[in-house]
Structure 1
Amino acid sequence: MKIAVTGKGGVGKTTLAGVLAKIYAAEGYRVMAVDADPDANLAAALGFPEDKLNKILPLSEMRDLIAERTGAQPGLMGQMFTLNPKVEDIPERFCAEHEGVRLLVMGGIKKGGSGCACPEHTFLRAIMRHLLLESKDVLIVDMEAGIEHLGRATADAVDAFIVVVEPGLRSINTYHSIKKLAADIGIPRVLVVGNKIGNIDDEKFIKSSVGEEKLLGMIKYDPRIAEADRNGLSPYYTSEEVRQAVAAIKDEIDKLVCAG
């Protein structure tokens, strides 16, 4: 099972990814969560305690490791480097673990564009390709709003590509942009989760904007999510309603994937 979660910033994609990972782990699955958003927050959504949080180093900041595997120094332009670095050992060596969920934090590229031809980007892309093609875990990837970590070679490995939207036009526009980009690289299945639903009008807006056949489910607005974030707690423990809603979404994902 390989799931990629994305959406406009602030819509709650990290909350969904974190609670979904904890539900799979609670059911006994071997779970790998990947924080592929440069604004990394998945560890907090998974409830990692502060002592473990402080020890997590994003892979993009491991300059010596990147240099060793790619043959080039990060941050320097005009170098020759390998396009297929060895990364098979990276997930197990550098993941952090908490309550049955293993976490790998990719980090961001601070220089150049997200698609730059640089050692750092090549290294991260190789790790993502390895995880999507070779991993036997339940893999949940918390992505940024784009699909830069995916390509034609790995698109078919994603069982469910989930876009989180909220009842607002900018969020819906992001969904349509992602849907088009996904089609361009051959991702066949782009689904939607509605979040921060306040009333029936919010539900109607999302259904009319994306189509009911694309909806995996909806999550009602809950102020306890913001409170959990302030206190460094996982929403999995602070909101029974959110946990139940995500569990229902997880069941829909399972049915959809099992149906082929």
Structure 2
Amino acid sequence: MNLASSLGVENPPKPLTEFKDLIQERAGAPGGAFVYNPKVDDIASKYGVIGPDGVRMLVMGTVDRGGSGCMCPASAFLRALLRHLMLKDKSAVILDMEAGIEHLGRGTTRGMDLMIIVVEPGARSLETAERIKKLSSEIGIKHLAAVINKGGSGKVNDKLEEMGIQVLGEIPFDTMLMQADLEKRAPIDVGGEAVDAIVKIKEKLMEVVEKIEIEDEDSKSKK
């Protein structure tokens, strides 16, 4: 809910699922026949909001109340958009998914090069990470990594390594993050110990992504 302010986007975009006329025009009306592969190549440029550093933000949206009707056209529209962004668009795409494993069951994250799991220092969070690893492998996601939130205990790091999940780094508990949230500012603009850790995590992440790209190129050349 607060991703926009975390990125420093002052005016977040309207969720795409609220553009009823657009979805009906492209994918069909609820309760009737719908287009499985609607036109979506212009959506990011028309409906995305550009924030700091040129990052373009889109909000997909979801069902917001019980009994709101069939979501088949909207689901087809969003699924086609994700396929386009991940497989055809040349930009780097970051998906901030709902907490939990529901998106894995729906296959929303199919086709991603890397899945990053945010892990809290606790047994239940580690169990969820293990479950995510199993489900992600079932939909073809080969590369997993973890970021430990409110870190400080090496035991969580060790457990993840035992599971075969690479740890990118740990974000310590930092009151500066709360201050940034209250001020609706991006944490990177406020600074603090946590931000220093996040910068190091980004550097490690870029190393991992570069390695994945090299592996993919090698795999393609062998074929």
- Number of aligned pairs? 205
- Matched residue of 2:61: which SS? coil
**Using the alignment, how far apart are the partners of 1:121 and 1:193 within structure 2?**
29
Q: 1:245 aligned to 190, 197, 206, which one? A: 197
Is contact 1:147-1:178 (8 Å) kept? no
Is contact 1:193-1:217 (8 Å) kept? yes
- Matched residue of 1:194: which SS? strand
Partner of 1:206: 156
**Using the alignment, how far apart are the partners of 2:173 and 2:192 within structure 1?**
12
**Using the alignment, how far apart are the partners of 1:163 and 1:71 within structure 2?**
35
* 2:26 pairs with 1:69: yes
Q: 1:138 aligned to 92, 98, 119, which one? A: 92
Q: 2:131 aligned to 177, 191, 194, which one? A: 177
**Using the alignment, how far apart are the partners of 2:113 and 2:22 within structure 1?**
31
**Using the alignment, how far apart are the partners of 2:113 and 2:146 within structure 1?**
14
- Matched residue of 2:94: which SS? strand
Is contact 2:15-2:60 (8 Å) kept? yes
Q: Go from structure 1 to structure 2 and tell me whether the alpha carbon gap of 1:184 and 1:112 turns closer, same or farther (over 3 Å shift).
A: farther
- Is 177-186 or 242-251 further displaced after alignment? 242-251
* 2:1 pairs with 1:43: no
Is contact 1:109-1:120 (8 Å) kept? no
Partner of 2:33: 80
* 2:102 pairs with 1:164: no
- Matched residue of 1:81: which SS? coil
Partner of 1:231: 183
**Using the alignment, how far apart are the partners of 1:255 and 1:232 within structure 2?**
30
**Using the alignment, how far apart are the partners of 2:66 and 2:155 within structure 1?**
38
Q: 1:92 aligned to 20, 34, 45, which one? A: 45
Post-superposition shift, 1:111?
A: 5.8
Larger Rg: 2
TM-score (norm 2): 0.83
Partner of 2:16: 59
TM-score (norm 1): 0.72
Partner of 2:61: 107
**Using the alignment, how far apart are the partners of 1:250 and 1:94 within structure 2?**
27
Structure 1 residues 188-226: Cα deviation after superposition (integer angstroms, max 9, x where no partner): 0111111112x4xx2x22123211761111111111112
- In structure 2, stretches of 5+ residues that fail to align are 216-223
Q: Name which structure has the greater RCO, CA cutoff 8 Å, separation 6+.
A: 1
Is contact 2:114-2:141 (8 Å) kept? no
Aligned-residue RMSD, C-alpha: 2.3
Post-superposition shift, 1:137?
A: 1.6
Which has a greater percent of strand?
1
Is contact 2:148-2:169 (8 Å) kept? yes
* 2:172 pairs with 1:220: yes
